[in-house]
C-alpha cells in the first residue's frame, strides 16, 4: 500500500500511536497548534531540513533511521544551548508512491528518539511531494541562561563529548560498498543506547555505520555539564570539528588550539575499524553529523567529557582569513575546511 492510497486523516491515524507527547503538553496534536508548558518563560527553537538523496539515501537508511536522525540532530541543537529537548514538530513531504510502511517507520524512529529525552512529537504537517522533512525542536531552558558559542575565554580548556568521524567513516563504508546497509547486527534495538561512547574505539565498520544511520548525541552529558555551571561556551559538532571550532573561535573572538595527541585515539580507532589511515584524520577533523558536543570550561573536565585543546587570545596580527582562529598541532587551519551543503566541497 502506498501513501497515495490513504487520506491524510488515515495516515495520521497510522502514525499517531508511535508518537509520544511532551511531558508538559497542555494541548496535544490535533488542534491548530500544540501547546507545551515550559519550566520558564523562554524557549529555545531550532529547525533542520532532511532531503532524500542529499542527507540520506533511501537504499541505506530506513524510514526509522531518517525519523530517528531528524529528531536527534534537532535534540543536539537544543542541548547545545543547555536546553532540554521537550517537543518536536515535523513538516513532512512524502512521495505518493512511497510504501506507507516507510511513513510509519519514520514516525516510529522519531518517536523512539524523542522518548529518549521524555520529549514529545506534538505536531506536524503531512503532504505529498519529494521526500523532505523539516523538523523543529522546542527546548526548555528551565530559567537558566542559554550557553552560547560566543562564551569561550582565553585560558579555557577545549573539551568534547561524543564521537568524532564515526558518521563520516560510516558514510565512507556505505559508499565504498564495504558494509551492507542493513548491518542490523549492531544497530541498537529500540530504546537502547547506540554504540557511541566517548573515547572508545568502534568495534568495526558496522559500529560507525550505525552512528551514521542513527546518531546518538550525548544530550545528557551536555545538559549535566551545563546544569553544574561548568560550561562557558557550547555547540554541537554537526559540520566537522575544525569548521565548528572555527565558528566558536570567531563568535568568541579567541583562538582555539586543537591538540593532535588528544585526537590520536579517535584516528587510531577509525583505522582499527578499517578506515585507511590517510583518510581517518580527515574524518576526525572534518567529518560532520556526529553530533557530539564541543565546549570550553575554566574548570576541571566534566565526567564523560575529555580535553582536546585549549583557548588562547587572538594574536593582534591574526587576520580572519589567515586561519589564525584555529590551529591543529600549531598549524593554522584554513577557513572553509569542512562541509558546506551548498558548494558540497569537502576539504
Kindly write down the DSSP assignment for every residue of 297-342, as one continuous string. Answer: ESSPPPTT-EEEEEEEPPPTT--GGGTTTEEETTEEPPTT-SB-TT
Sheet of strand 292-297: strand arrangement: 233-237, 292-297, 157-161, 306-312, 255-258, 326-328, 331-332
Other CB atoms within 10 A of residue 260 CB: 16
CA end-to-end span of the chain: 43
Question: Is 140 annotated to bind ligand?
Answer: no
Q: Which is nearer to a second copy, 25 or 186 (CB)?
A: 25
Q: In whole angstroms, how close is the CB of 281 to a second copy at the nearest point? A: 24
Question: Is 93 annotated to bind ligand?
Answer: no
Q: In whole angstroms, how close is the CB of 24 to a second copy at the nearest point? A: 8
Q: In whole angstroms, how close is the CB of 174 to a second copy at the nearest point? A: 20
Other CB atoms within 10 A of residue 316 CB: 5
Question: Is 339 annotated to bind ligand?
Answer: yes
Q: In whole angstroms, how close is the CB of 289 to a second copy at the nearest point? A: 13
Question: Is 167 annotated to bind ligand?
Answer: no
Question: Is 55 annotated to bind ligand?
Answer: yes
Q: In whole angstroms, how close is the CB of 62 to a second copy at the nearest point? A: 20
Question: Is 65 annotated to bind ligand?
Answer: no
SS3 22: coil
> Do 246 and 311 form a contact (C-beta atoms < 8 A)?
no
Q: Which is nearer to a second copy, 148 or 279 (CB)?
A: 148
Question: Is 289 annotated to bind ligand?
Answer: yes
Question: Is 32 annotated to bind ligand?
Answer: yes
Q: Which is nearer to a second copy, 30 or 329 (CB)?
A: 30
Rounded CA Rg of the chain:
20
Angle between helices 219-227 and 63-79 (to 10 degrees): 10
Q: Which is nearer to a second copy, 9 or 278 (CB)?
A: 9
CA nearest neighbour of 6 among 105, 120, 126: 126
Q: Which is nearer to a second copy, 134 or 154 (CB)?
A: 134
Other CB atoms within 10 A of residue 279 CB: 17
Question: Is 239 annotated to bind ligand?
Answer: yes
Q: In whole angstroms, how close is the CB of 184 to a second copy at the nearest point? A: 28
> Do 249 and 243 form a contact (C-beta atoms < 8 A)?
no
Q: Which is nearer to a second copy, 68 or 173 (CB)?
A: 68
Q: In whole angstroms, how close is the CB of 245 to a second copy at the nearest point? A: 14
Q: Which is nearer to a second copy, 40 or 227 (CB)?
A: 40
d(CA 243, CA 258): 12
CA distances from 28 to 75, 126, 267 (A): 20, 17, 46
Scanning 88-218, the segments in alpha helix (DSSP H) are: 100-115, 166-176, 205-213
Q: In whole angstroms, how close is the CB of 187 to a second copy at the nearest point? A: 26
Long-range pairs of 188-191 with CB within 8 A, sequence gap ≥ 24: 188/214, 190/108, 190/112, 191/112, 191/115, 191/116
Question: Is 194 annotated to bind ligand?
Answer: no
Q: Which is nearer to a second copy, 148 or 265 (CB)?
A: 148
Q: Which residues are annotated as a binding site?
A: 32, 46-48, 55, 77, 124-125, 149, 236, 238-239, 289, 339
Q: Which residues are annotated as a binding site for substrate?
A: 55, 289, 339
Q: Which residues are annotated as a binding site for ATP?
A: 124-125, 149, 238
Q: Which residues are annotated as a binding site for Mg(2+)?
A: 32, 46-48, 77, 125, 236, 239
Amino acid at each position: 500500500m502506498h501513501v497515495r492510497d490513504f487520506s491524510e486523516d488515515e495516515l495520521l491515524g497510522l502514525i499517531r500511536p508511535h508518537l509520544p507527547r511532551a511531558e508538559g503538553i497542555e494541548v496535544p496534536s490535533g488542534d491548530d497548534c500544540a501547546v507545551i508548558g515550559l519550566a520558564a518563560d523562554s524557549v529555545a527553537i531550532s529547525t533542520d531540513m532532511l532531503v532524500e538523496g542529499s542527507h540520506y539515501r533511501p537504499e541505506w537508511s530506513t524510514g526509522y533511521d531518517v525519523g530517528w536522525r531528524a529528531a536527534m540532530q534537532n535534540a543536539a541543537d537544543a542541548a547545545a544551548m543547555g536546553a532540554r529537548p521537550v517537543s518536536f514538530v515535523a513538516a513532512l513531504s512524502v512521495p505518493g508512491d512511497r510504501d506507507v510502511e516507510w511513513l510509519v517507520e519514520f514516525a516510529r524512529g522519531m518517536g523512539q528518539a524523542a522518548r529518549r529525552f521524555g520529549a514529545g512529537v506534538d505536531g506536524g504537517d503531512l503532504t505529498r511531494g519529494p521526500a523532505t522533512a523539516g523538523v523543529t525542536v522546542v527546548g526548555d531552558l528551565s530559567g537558566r541562561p542559554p550557553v552560547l558559542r560566543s562564551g569561550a575565554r582565553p585560558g579555557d580548556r577545549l573539551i568534547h563529548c561524543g564521537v568524532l568521524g564515526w558518521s563520516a567513516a560510516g558514510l565512507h563504508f556505505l559508499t565504498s560498498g564495504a558494509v551492507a546497509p542493513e548491518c542490523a547486527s549492531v544497530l541498537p534495538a529500540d530504546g537502547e543506547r547506540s554504540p557511541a561512547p566517548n573515547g572508545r574505539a568502534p568495534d568495526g565498520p558496522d559500529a560507525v555505520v550505525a552512528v551514521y544511520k542513527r546518531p546518538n548525541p550525548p544530550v545528557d552529558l551536555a545538559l549535566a555539564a551545563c546544569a553544574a555551571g561548568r560550561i562557558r561556551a557550547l555547540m554541537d559538532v554537526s559540520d566537522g570539528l575544525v569548521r565548528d571550532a572555527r565558528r566558536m573561535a570567531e563568535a568568541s573572538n579567541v583562538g582555539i588550539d586543537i591538540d593532535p595527541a588528544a585526537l590520536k585515539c579517535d584516528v587510531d580507532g577509525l583505522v582499527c575499524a578499517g578506515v585507511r589511515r590517510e583518510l581517518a584524520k580527515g574524518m576526525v577533523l572534518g567529518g560532520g553529523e556526529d553530533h557530539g558536543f564541543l565546549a570550553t570550561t575554566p574548570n576541571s573536565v566534566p565526567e564523560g567529557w575529555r580535553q582536546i585543546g585549549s583557548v588562547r587570545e587572538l594574536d593582534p596580527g591574526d587576520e580572519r582569513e589567515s586561519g589564525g582562529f584555529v590551529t591543529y598541532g600549531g598549524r593554522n587551519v584554513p577557513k572553509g575546511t569542512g562541509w558546506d551543503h551548498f558548494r558540497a566541497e569537502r576539504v
